[in-house]
Structures are given as C-alpha cells and as structure tokens.
Amino acid sequence: MVTLGDYLIVSGILFAIGFAGVMLRRNLIIILMALELMLNAANLSLVAFSRFRLLPNGLPDYNGQVFVFFIITVAAAEVAVGLAILVALYRARQTTDIKDISQLKF
Amino acid sequence: MSIPNRRSLRNSRSVLQLIMSPFLFWIFALLMLVFGAAVIINRNPIASALSLVVSFLGLAALFMSLDAYFIGIIQVLVYAGAVMVLFLFIIMLLDLRAEERRQINLLTSAGAIAVALVLLLEIFHVIGTFKSTAQPFPPLARPTSDDVRNIGALLFQKYNLPFQIIGILVLVATVGIVLLSKREPR
C-alpha cells in the first residue's frame, strides 16, 4: 500500500532535482524550468496532505487543493513575466547565459 | 438506504485499490523523476522543455491517484498546455541552440550537487520524524466526482479575497509583459 511517506519522499526528490538544476545550469530558460519543478514538488506534498487528512464528512481537506490552485496561478504568471524579461534581456545582450549577465548595469 | 451506500462504498474502494496500487504509483513517480532529471541534464533547451512536459504529465497522474481530479486536470491544462507552449515559443523565438560544451567548473558543480544532496537528506530526515507517514491513506466516504464544486465553493466563499487579489496579480502581470515586450521608440 502506498503511504503518505512515499508521496513526500517523491516530492522531496523532485524538489532536490529542481534545486540542483537552479544551482548547476547557466541557461536562464533551464533555470526557470527547474523553478517550475520545485513549485510542483510543493504542490505534490500539499495534495498528499490534503488527501491524507480527511474531514469529518469523509472528503479530502480541500483547503490544501485551493492553495495548490493559487500556487499554479502564481507560477503561470511568474513564468510569463520571467520569459518576458528573458526576451528583453536577449534583445539587449544577445545571450541567456547567466555568466554573461553578472552586472546590473549595461 | 443501506444498499446504495454499501455499493458506493465498495465501488470507491475498488477504484481506490485500482488507482492507488503501488505499481502504478511507482511507475508514474519514476516517470516524473527520470524526466525531471532529464530537464536539467539535457543540453538542448527543446529537449529539456519536452522532458518537462512528460514530467508534468506524470505529476498529473499522481494528483489523480490522490483523488484530486480537478488539480490534475488544471495541471495538464496550465502546465503541459499553456506554460509549455510559452517555453517552446520563447526557445524558438530566441533561436537557442544546444549550448556548446564549455569548460565545466568542477568545483562549482560538485558544490551545487553537494548542497542539493544535503537538502535531500534533510528532507528525508524531517519526513522520518513524522509519525503518520507510515500509515496508508484512509478510504474516502464516497468517490469524489464533485471536487470541482467543493473547491469552487471554498474559493468563492472562504478564499474570496485571495481569489480577487490573484486576479489583480494576473492583470498586473499581463500589463507588465506587454510593457516589457514593447520595443522602445527611437
């Protein structure tokens, strides 16, 4: 039988993968993707907790799922703004490598 | 009164055993983790984006195995649909090719992997201290086919103010994106 711990472990591994991606990669697009992985790891553990803690009427605790809904909305807005900044940056510097954009001032 | 009740209970339990069987869980978890690792290992950004789609689909299957059908469906729609199209569109717009093999700084990479491993060990340790992690999930009272209604009721009653704040956030993001992508007049 699958337990709550299994879901939390899978979620923790996914978070660590995303974290390693943010630390290792130098392409800004890949860093944004790794950020998405981390957000989704948090979502997985939230949904697992929501399913684990049943309300007295025997249904999942939907507060956690509403929180996941908010996280997905904010993540979508964040990706859109991040990619727009990336495009503006590429227009100015013709690069997406973080090694080439270590200065705030152009 | 008792017959439909019992039938629905048995029905929900068989669906539960089918969906939450460890075999399917580990298949989708492995799929998600392997393709999640492929996102950060691939050198070609397009291959990374496509791996991310597969990873998100595996995650959506895990959501459905937790009886969170609405979250699973918006995961597919928002992430595998909209966000991925956005990523691929930007990659093709910028005409990014696979990175040329630069000299990898071994010390930095080893440090990054070590920090990630320490984080993972810490997460495992925290999970190990929970008492309830070894228990299986309790069965639902009835199969939840109406979780959209429940989430919607919660969203519009208890979380009405955060919902409207999210609406303003999305509006601000839209205006900001238009402003950022506008070319400056010369």
Alpha helices, H only, chain B: 2-19, 22-41, 45-65, 69-74, 84-94, 106-129, 147-157, 160-181
Confirm whether A106 is domain-assigned: no
User: Total structural domains in chain A?
Assistant: 1
CATH of domain B1-101: 1.20.120.1200
Q: Chain B residue closest to A20 (CA)?
A: B116
CATH number, position A88: 1.10.287.3510
B160 vs B26: CA distance, rounded Å: 37
Q: If pLDDT is split at 50, 70 and 90, which confidence band does B18 have?
A: low
- A27 interfacial to chain B (CB closer than 8 Å): yes
Please say whether the beta carbons of A64 and A45 come within 8 A.
no
Nearest CA to A89 out of A106, A67, A64, A75 is that of A106
Across the strands, what pairs with A60? A54
Q: What is the phi/psi pair of residue B136, to 5°?
A: -75, 165
Query: Cβ of B142 and A58 within 8 Å?
Result: yes
B136: helix, strand or coil? strand
Question: Which residues of chain A does B176 touch, with a Cβ-Cβ cutoff of 8 Å?
Answer: 81, 84
Owner of token pair 């630390």:
A23
Domain ranges of chain B: 1-101, 103-134, 146-186
Residue B158 is given by DSSP the state: T
Smallest CA–CA separation between A93 and chain B, in Å? 12
In Å, how far is B102's CA from the nearest CA of chain A? 11
**Residue B98, CB half-sphere, CA atoms under 13 Å: how many?**
9
Q: How many CB atoms lie within 10 A of CB B17?
A: 11
Taking CB atoms and an 8 Å cut-off, how many pairs form between chains A and B?
228
Indicate the pLDDT class of residue B155, thresholds 50, 70 and 90: very high
A10–B70 CB contact, under 8 Å: no
Q: What is the pLDDT of residues A43-88, one digit of tens each?
A: 999 999 999 888 888 888 899 999 999 999 999 999 999 999 998 8
Question: In this complex, do A87 and B173 lie within 8 Å of one another by their Cβ atoms?
Answer: no
Instruction: Give the Cα separation of B40 and A86 in Å (integer).
Output: 18
* Total-model pTM: 0.87
Helix or strand holding residue B79 (H, E) = none
Residue A83 within a domain: yes
pLDDT band at B1 (very low <50, low <70, confident <90, very high): very low
Domain membership of residue A22 as a residue range: 4-100
Helix (H, G, I), strand (E, B) or coil at A37: helix
Residue A6 CA: distances (Å) to CA of A2, A71, A74: 6, 22, 27
Is A105 domain-assigned?
no
Q: In the block, which residue shows the tokens 């704040």?
A: B165
For residue A36, tell me if it sits in a domain.
yes
Is B162 a residue whose pLDDT tops 70?
yes
